[in-house]
Structure 1
Amino acid sequence: MPDMTEDNGLNFFWGKARPVSVDFETDSSIHPLIAHMLDVAAVAILLPGSQRLGLDYRQLGMLVALHDIGKLTPAFQAKVPECWPEQAWGECPDEVVASRHDVDGLLLLDRVCREELAPLFGTASEGFDWSPIDKRRLWRAVAGHHGQPVSINDNQNREFDVKLSTPYAHKLVSLLFDLFRPPPIPPYHSLDHLLQLEWQLAGLTVQADWIGSRREWFPYVRPDDVADFAGYFWNKALHRAQGAIVQAGLAPVSISPFQGIAHLFPHIRTPSPVQALLDVTSLPAGPALVVIEDMTGSGKTEAALVAAHRLMASGRASGLFVALPTMATANAMFDRLAVAYRSLFQASSHPSLALAHGRALLDERFVSVLAPDDALDSAVLKKDREQAAEICCSAWLGSETRRALLAQVGVGTIDQALMAVLPVRFATVRQAGLAGKVLLVDECHAYDPYMQEEMVALLRFHAAMGGSAILLSATLTKAVRQKLMDAFREGLRQEESVSLSCMAYPLVTVVGAVGAEELPCAPRPGLERSITVRQVREEAAVMAEVSSAAAKGAAVAWVRNTVDDVIASAKALKEKGIETMVFHARFAMVDRLAIEREVLARFGKNGTTADRAAVLIASQVIEQSLDLDFDVLCTDLAPMDLIIQRAGRLRRHTRKQRVVDCDEICIFSPDPVADPDPKWISRVLPGTAAVYRDPALLWRTAKVLQLKGKIQSPDAIRELIEEAGNISDVPDGLMAASDEAEGKGRAARGEAMRNVLDYEAGYAPDSALWEREVRTSTRLEDRPYVTVRLGVMKEGQVWPWAALQEGALAASHERKRAWALSEVSVARHALASCPVADTQQEAVAAARAEWSRWERQAEDQFLLLLLEETEEGWRGFGRNEAAQDVGVCYDEKYGFQILKGTLT
């Protein structure tokens, strides 16, 4: 066996490998481990934001380089026997003890190389030094670079071929010390600062490893090329890292100086009161929380961007992430930000704007601005990409949701931000994406108890990491505002309680380490409204209202609380000769996106009188963040905040002429009698009772609206919200159901508190149950859902539904996108499996082979439903959770439906 201390033996350990079919004479089949470690260290040093860790670049380079030291083990090196380091260890054995290299890395760092690494840690002037526990925090951060923290079990303190690995581990540490020459890291006096470093280092290491592992940016080199480690690092690794960071879309950017709202939004000649307030009001030093409560149409988003730019220009943030409740609202916000985001940065900078949600790559606008990896590295882009250079996102950032959060400006669903505080793989990447940014959350009232507790954890975590946040809402209760403020101040380690008291509306609350300031704001001129509330007791009366308005050529909307009610009402109106548009969440994505575009075109700000003469029956998908404007609005009874949101879609814009000129909202609701019985809501609106589980909340909403007779904004908004939310007002007949709903809310909050990451515990495996993202959900579902992909047999093959709707999606390179556009989400109790005939199994298997590996493996979560065209439309068959056969129908107008009745 060769001498294990031979210097050049270390060069033959591989860190990355590819098949040996590559001609070794012209290209290397391995990338030496030391080269990969130095590549990743170079990326970490040069990444914008790395200075936030407070480490000298030599200390940071040394720490991050050690992330893959666990690959110096037989268990890892034997994964590719052809690349076994025979020059160091002789012939590859037939068997080795299996182990994970991240776990082995922690073992080498924390135990085997403890003495060799001791010079990296200094001693304070007071005489105290690093404890083994505190050192372990840093080793966990760099070793757990595969998405979750690792630990050393007692049975892993084995002789896992330590005799083979130890000399090379010691030699590697010695070489890294010679290369980086890091000054000793002083011990941390504050646990808060050490915790922040631990979490930040974990995120930065993964980010650097992802970039440093891309072969296109870091070509494989031969062992001889790293014989001079220092030469490789200074002459190759740093140069390649600089280019890779640019190509990844993460090049340094410069924030433009704040010059007032007119600089950001030249079209705003007269700022609204909330915009003017945030243009000049003082912001506290350090991380800040700004809560903006104002009416729909008041310009809250622009006001928030003004505040965000001020925080960025003052050096407290390097970018922005905007979180919204749904994919549809995120898509709409992406379009709005595409126009304005460049003004946040100097003209010479090229900041990335990314869309971050599970279906971002299905959005044509976003896909159109994705730049190829090599384009961002060019001095001049092709002429046909000049516009994309202004609104740009690298393919590396945009092609993966977790990476999209790393863009300088991101827009996505709130779920993407919440996963930063859940024990899911690569949560630290999301944390890195949010770190140093302003977190802007729109519609922050729209959360159930489970998500609200997650939001509390996110604010606490974000503040502890030094971030600022801006929250927007038209309807936020004082209690929720207090809870969100308390969480942010807890993250800032402020133990002194601060009570909020102002009940004005509109209102801006500014929170910092020193306290909170509540700033009443005038309403935007022209938004003061008095919308009459007319309650109707029977569905037929709503149908008559819709029919009458439709006959006059009005733009009419009826918001129903369940998809089944949406479809039933649309079909009932059709029988009366009234054609309707239908919009809900149970359409295949290709059809839903098309409907969304048509709805925005017809009923948006620029909709013409002729186009607007239509009836839309929709679910809750239209109640938030979509800029829609109707002449007549009907809605099922819902909690007060949602009624107010829906009312914001009535007569939203100024128009010269409306065929129905009346500020009135029609609410389908049972009479809020003084002594309602337990079936008060379910008797009239059974679907509503299933969606909104607290009948007392619905009863108080109906009672208050009946008493007031109108929605007076802004003067009475706060009063309406607080009175409807008064939990002490519960009639006897609804007490049992209300108590049950409250109990479920407490249970949901408890479950959320158990699920969220404990910042104080650090990046430790025993602090939470770490899972894949598909297993730890950001939303608590009473009924689990499955993803159903619609397919059609054509010419002996299974085609994605979307490929039949859009011919371009039939191309082989578009199949992955076509399948994603063919998805619809369905409750598992209604459809749990989709058996296929023996004659179709081969074709179905071939279709599923086009899916990703984890989608294929998750057969209980991703179903393939075959549709067949019949005289009645497209039909399919499956089984529900009770293993009963069920029939399915699907069409572009009504969406996905489970057929009623027993199948024969």
Structure 2
Amino acid sequence: MPLWSKRQGLDGPYPLISHLLDTAASATALWDHWLRPGLRELIEDSLGPEAQSWVTAAAGLHDLGKANPVFAGQLFAKTAEPWHEGTRRDLVAAGYSLEVPTERLRHLRRHEKVSALELASTDLDYGAPVSGDWLAASALGHHGRFEIPDSHECKAFARSAGGAWHESRDHLRAAITGACGLGTDPEVPEASPAVAVLIAGLVVLADRTASEWHAVQRARGELASGVLNPEDHLRWIEHRTRFFASRLEETLGVYRDFKDARASIAGDFELRPLQQAALTAGAGLWIAMAPTGNGKTEAALLRHAARNERLIFALPTQATTNAMMKRVQNAYNGTGNVAELAHRLATVEDFYAPPAEHRMAGGDGLIPSEFLRNGTARLLAPVSVSTIDQVLAGSLRTKWAHLRLLTLANAHVVIDEAHLMDQYQSALAGQLMTWWGATGTRVTVLSATLPQWQRDRFAQAYDRTWVPAPICFPSHESVPGTPELLTQESYGITVTTRRSDDPVRDHIDWADRMKKQAPQARLGIVVNTVGRAQQVALGLQRAGMDPIVLHSRMTAGHRRDAADRLLTEIGRGGQGTGTVVVGTQAIEASLDIDLDAISTDLAPAPSLIQRAGRAWRHPDPQRALRLPGVHELPLQVITGEGKRGALPYFSSELARVEKHLTGRTRLIMPDESQGFVEASALRLDEVDWTEHEELTDHARRYARAGGVVINTNDLTDPYADLESLMRLTGHDVEEETATRLIEMPSITALTIDPGGRGGVPGAWTGSIGDLEAITPQDRTALRQAMAATVPLNGKLARRALAIANSWNPQSRVLTAMIPVILGQGGIGYDTLLGLVEDGADA
């Protein structure tokens, strides 16, 4: 049979039956070694005792549609290849017709649609139930989207893909179902829509692992040597299943549990109450709310260790993600797990440049995998530490949405600093909670300050039977269940609130006063915008100070250097004195640093509590020497005038915060924490209606969430139709843009400092041509390029786009980025302040 499946990168065709059997074998290995037991049980409950066989068969049948004249004969190929004519002659000689009218060629070019039409039990229209056509749907989605064939494609299938083509597809279908133990003409059972999505994701994954170059080359060699017999389908699957099971260690990785979880995670320290509670948290959704110092991270890991399953640990920023990877890596020391760091600039981080001996040892810490290096694949790793954007993208209508949903359901998902998600992101998370509840996925939500509206949204989405109970703090709560109060010693924060028409000046004056009173004190100034951070830093520099600046408008390399310096000076165990740091929201949930005093812009209550949490974090006998005569954290809160002073927050919300703080000189934590959060929380009906722009912006957050988010309730509806699956998938997205409400356009700029003449930290010092010449294989150069990236939006992004430098990079990773030679288009860089408008006095 001259039907083939793969040619690219090979010196001959790989038979279609071989690829189908390979994919079935790969799916078997995934079922046995990668899929968590809870998902296997869910699929078995839906499909019955032959569930594994049906999953294996679905994977094996996904490319059935390659037995069609347009694919097999490459009749719609854009470029003629030398082997095309010979392949066509062989097909005709074997009795296959290649007579397809020109107008029908494009209607048969999508082989996944041909597969779906062949496997469909109905007419495969929009109203067809998913439960009855899940097998066709699993084939339809294996290239990323569920696109139902239109009437032209259905006619082309009926008129030009019949005869010998149809007979071959029948023969292949019988061969696969027979080899999977189902017989040659089995009746397809119904599957729930949620299970249909899981199987569609598994088919994608099985196809990817079966199509790996190493796997195909291995099979071709074994075909040539006689180890594999293409006529012995059952033995083929058995033999290749063993290969794919062993190969999983090199591709997706197989999760390896802690040898001694208690010792690995908590060391010799006595477990705190929250950590003790984590040991018995069980299945479902667990919400832990406690101030800094309660060991929430360790609690999440201890809960995770109760089951042998993959881990996804999601955090709000790249900085927190990088810092958490180091902590998780330490906990997993000795396990040799495959792991990935998942965010846009991950490849810059040291995790992707371990020593050669570490990589070869295979038994130390966490080890990255080439197979999982890019995009969504990073979440497939046994241990993945990611920005929350990578997780929330699972709720969007994107290409490969079903693979994302499978990935997120096949792990214990930990969401840290959950209160930092705004209304839009909370709507995305709410959809995922519904999916996680339907699939029995363990989810752990960590927060120091979760408002009740957010807790209620997550819990009710996860479990519709959940009955709200009054929130308390600090506490932990299983859903379903009620909160259990934690006891903790109280501490005070001395609060000074100032209303100012010049917040920048007031922050600088505060630092000047503090320096005169306590020269060795560690000072932090946290403001709400990059521009203000730059102005404050410049003022401090002019006053003779040497501030460390940290915000988003710096090169990745510059940010990394600043973060490393902070951790060295004032991180856990740091001995630094006199440090002054100026930053934006990147600091409030970012680094494990310990300041002595803070001055901050007015911000939502959860943010103020988090900012205060960057100070007095650890017992430090040296603090009394650095800050003599002060017995609790001094916190200055500066309120700017008017709506502009509130940006980027709502003035209505900040007015509630200011009202709560007015007349108070002290906050008692954690006793007053939840009351402060609830008193300051803003709901839609509480927006200042006189501020029409603000109301519109608040409503826009809801509207956007409704416009791009999948409806996971469709996936739990037993009567869901194929149109529901079509609404599940869409186009590729840039996760960190699509999951945040930011001013558009939004781009990633590649900053270029020719010859390094400007001394810009992190910037690329070569030419644009040098950047274009970087190959995908040159990891060192790619890391250097990624260190030069800066996220830009709004006016600066428009300036960068207007420069329009010629750009044709070899590496796909760099394609979507915009090269900017510093000095072009009014875009400059200050080695202290970061990216600035060139010529402007920051």
TM-score band w.r.t. shorter chain:
0.7 to 0.9
Q: Report the Cα offset of residue 725 of structure 1.
A: 2.1
Note if 1:899 corresponds to 2:838. Answer: yes
Deviations 1:695-727 (A, max 9, x none): 121122122122332221011111111112266
1:773 to 716, 729, 733: 733
Give the conservation status (yes or no) of the 8 Å contact 1:788–1:865: yes
Residues 524-546 of structure 1, C-alpha deviations (whole Å, 9 max, x = no match): x5xx2101101233443432220
SS of the residue 1:817 aligns to: helix
Which of 8, 17, 25 in structure 1 is aligned with 2:7?
A: 17
Amino acid at match of 2:747: V
Once superposed, which parts of structure 1, at least 4 consecutive aligned residues long, lie more than 6 Å away? 91-96, 111-114, 222-225, 728-731, 808-812
Task: Encode CA deviations 1:4-59: one digit per residue, 9 max, x unaligned.
Answer: xxxxx2xx22211036xx7xxxxx42211111111111110111244453254332
Answer yes or no: is 1:414 the counterpart of 2:388.
Answer: yes
1:534 aligns with 2:496: yes
What is the distance in 1 between the residues matched to 2:129 and 2:622? 75
Deviation at 1:478, TM superposition (A): 1.7
The change in CA–CA distance for 1:592 and 1:254 in structure 2 (over 3 A counts) is closer
Give, as a single letter, the amino acid of the residue that structure 2 aligns with 1:76: F
- Selected match of 1:759 from 686, 701, 712: 712
Summarize the Cα distance change of 1:836–1:643 in structure 2 as closer, same or farther, 3 Å threshold: closer
Q: 2:245 aligns with which of 239, 242, 247?
A: 242
Q: 2:172 and 2:199 mapped to 1: Cα distance? A: 21
How far did residue 238 of structure 1 move?
A: 2.5
- Change in 2 beyond 3 A, CA 1:351/1:795: closer
Asked if 1:35 corresponds to 2:18, the answer is yes
| Partner Cα distance (2:729, 2:244) in 1 | 34
Measured in 1, the distance between the counterparts of 2:430 and 2:635 equals 35
Q: Which residue of 1 aligns with 2:285?
A: 289
Distance 1:185 1:350 in 2: 44
Q: 1:593 Cα shift? A: 1.2
Is residue 2:479 matched to residue 1:469?
A: no
Write the letter of the residue equivalent to 1:102: E
User: Structure 1 stretch 768-777 or stretch 584-593: which is displaced more?
Assistant: 768-777
Alignment of 1:881-896 (within 5 A): 887-896=826-835
The verdict on how the C-alpha distance between 1:542 and 1:179 changes in structure 2, with shifts beyond 3 A counting, is closer
Matched, 1:591 2:558: yes
Once the two structures are superposed, residues 269-309 of structure 1 have per-residue CA deviations (whole angstroms, 9 ceiling, x without a partner) of 22222223333x464xxx41111111012111111222222
The CA distance in 1 between the partners of 2:405 and 2:447, in whole Å, is: 24
Q: Report the CA distance between 1:81 and its aligned residue.
A: 6.6
Counterpart Cα distance in 2 of 1:550 and 1:614:
10
Find the aligned partners of 2:182 and 2:448 in 1 and give their Cα distance. 52
- The 5 Å alignment of 1:435-834 reads 435-490=409-464, 496-502=465-471, 504-511=472-479, 515-523=480-488, 525=489, 528-538=490-500, 539=503, 540-551=505-516, 552-608=519-575, 611-658=576-623, 659-661=626-628, 662=630, 663-670=632-639, 680-682=641-643, 686=644, 688-692=645-649, 694-725=650-681, 735-737=689-691, 740-762=693-715, 764-768=724-728, 770-774=730-734, 777-793=738-754, 802-804=763-765, 813=778, 814-834=780-800
1:165 has 2:165 as partner:
yes
Name the residue aligned to 1:208.
206
Worse overlay, 404-413 or 80-89: 80-89
Provide the rounded CA distance (Å) in 1 between the counterparts of 2:584 and 2:766. 24
Asked if 1:46 is matched to 2:29, the reply is yes
C-alpha distance in structure 2 between counterparts of 1:46 and 1:670, whole Å = 59
Q: Which amino acid aligns with 2:578?
A: A
Partner of 1:389: 363
Partner residue, 1:882: none
Contact kept, 8 Å, 1:436 with 1:466, in 2: the verdict is: no
Deviation by residue 1:191-216 (Cα, 9 ceiling, x = unmatched)? xx612210110111111111111111
Q: Which residue matches 1:3?
A: none
Residue 335 of structure 1 aligns to which amino acid in structure 2? Answer: K
Distance 1:819 1:625 in 2: 24
CA 1:850–1:598 in structure 2 vs 1: closer, same or farther (change >3 Å)?
farther
Alpha-carbon distance between aligned partners in 1 of 2:146 and 2:527, rounded to the nearest angstrom: 45
Question: d(CA) in 2 for partners of 1:144 and 1:282?
Answer: 36
Q: CA deviation at 1:159?
A: 3.3
CA contact (8 A) 2:495 2:667 kept: yes
Retained in 2: the 8 A contact 1:561–1:691?
yes
What is the DSSP-based 3-state SS (H/G/I as helix, E as strand, rest coil) of the residue aligned with 2:739? coil
Shift of 1:404: 1.7
Query: Aligned with 1:517: secondary structure?
Result: coil
Please say if residues 554 and 612 of structure 1, whose CA atoms lie closer than 8 Å, have aligned partners that are also in contact. Answer: yes
Secondary structure of the residue aligned to 2:598 is strand
Contact preservation (8 Å) 1:800, 1:819? no
Structure 1 match to 2:718 = none
Q: Is the 8 A contact 2:130 2:137 kept in 1?
A: no
**Cα distance, 1:783 vs structure 2:** 3.5
State the AA in 2 paired with 1:105. S
**1:760 Cα offset (Å):** 4.2
> In the aligned structure 1, how far is the partner of 2:154 from the partner of 2:802?
50
Could you give the per-residue CA deviations for residues 46-105 of structure 1, whole angstroms, max 9, x where no partner exists?
Answer: 112444532543322221111011111122221457153533324977967122111222
Aligned partner of residue 216 in structure 1, secondary structure = helix
After superposition, the CA RMSD in angstroms is: 3.3
Aligned-partner Cα distance in 2 for 1:132–1:266: 50
Distance in 2 between the 1:588 and 1:456 partners? 33
Q: 1:134-173 counterparts in 2 under 5 A?
A: 134-160=131-157, 161-163=160-162, 164-173=164-173
Alpha-carbon deviation of 1:113?
Answer: 12
The SS at the match of 1:748 is helix
Q: For the residues of structure 1 that align with 2:207 and 2:541, how far apart are their CA atoms? A: 58
Residues 132, 644 of structure 1: alpha-carbon distance in 2 compared, 3 angstrom cutoff: closer
What is the alpha-carbon distance in structure 1 between the residues aligned to residue 29 and residue 774 of structure 2?
40
Which of 392, 398, 402 is the equivalent residue of 1:424? 398
Change (3 A) 1:835 1:248: closer
Question: CA 1:269–1:455 in 2, change beyond 3 Å: closer, same or farther?
Answer: same
Deviation digits for residues 838-857 of structure 1 (CA, Å, limit 9, x no counterpart): xxx9xx64x632342x854x
Which residue of 328, 352, 359 corresponds with 2:338? 352
Structure 1 residues 791, 485: CA separation in 2 closer, same or farther (over 3 Å shift)?
Answer: same
Whether 1:335 and 2:326 are equivalent positions in the alignment is yes
Deviation at 1:397, TM superposition (A): 4.4
Task: Give the Cα separation in 2 of the matches to 1:235 and 1:292.
Answer: 45
Q: Which moved more, 1:165-174 or 1:43-52?
A: 43-52
Bigger CA drift: 405-414 or 542-551? 542-551
> What SS does the aligned partner of 1:531 have?
strand
For residues 757 and 593 of structure 1, the distance between their equivalents in structure 2, rounded to whole angstroms, comes to 35
Task: Give the CA deviation at 1:361.
Answer: 1.4
> CA-to-partner distance for each residue in 1:473-529, whole Å, 9 max, x for gaps?
111112221111101103xxxxx4502124x32111111xxx312101111x5xx21
Tell me the distance in 1 between the aligned counterparts of 2:763 and 2:840.
29
Q: Please, which of 92, 101, 112 is the counterpart of residue 102 of structure 1?
A: 112
Q: Report the secondary structure of 1:537's partner residue.
A: strand
Which residue is 1:375 aligned to?
Answer: none
- The CA deviation at 1:171 is 1.7
State the secondary structure of the residue aligned to 1:600.
Answer: helix
**Helix, strand or coil at the partner of 2:178:** helix
**Percent identity for Structure 1 against Structure 2:** 23
